[in-house]
């Protein structure tokens, strides 16, 4: 018997993930929690939303983190894509 079973991180999908994004953006007042730049929701349509800001995980899925309010931050595009994922994922690196 394993004394410390591995915890499975919470992964949200669909409406639940959208609600998490809205809640995190509201908590941060749509300002990047890393650098303070305003990163608003650009468009909200009937079926989808386009975001200038991103939900970034503090602890990744692979490290055991999940989609919970205490494990995510609201970040601007620059802080999330370029700083966290590197130039491979940014438009400048393409």
Q: What is the pLDDT of residues 8-21, one digit of tens each?
A: 788 989 999 989 99
Residues listed for the chain: 94
For the chain, helix, strand, coil in percent to 5 are 30, 20, 50
Span 33-91, pLDDT tens digits:
998 888 886 655 544 555 678 889 999 888 888 999 999 999 988 888 777 777 665 55
**Which sequence spans correspond to the domains of the chain?**
14-85
pTM of the model: 0.72
């Amino acid at each position: 018997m394993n004394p410390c079973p591995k915890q499975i991180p919470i992964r949200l999908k669909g409406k639940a993930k959208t609600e998490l994004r809205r809640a995190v953006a509201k908590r941060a007042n749509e300002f990047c929690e890393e650098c303070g730049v305003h990163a608003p929701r650009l468009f909200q349509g009937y079926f989808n939303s386009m975001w200038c800001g991103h939900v970034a995980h503090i602890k990744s899925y692979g490290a055991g983190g999940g989609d919970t309010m205490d494990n995510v931050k609201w970040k601007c595009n620059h802080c999330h894509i370029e700083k966290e994922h590197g130039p491979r994922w940014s438009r400048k690196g393409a």
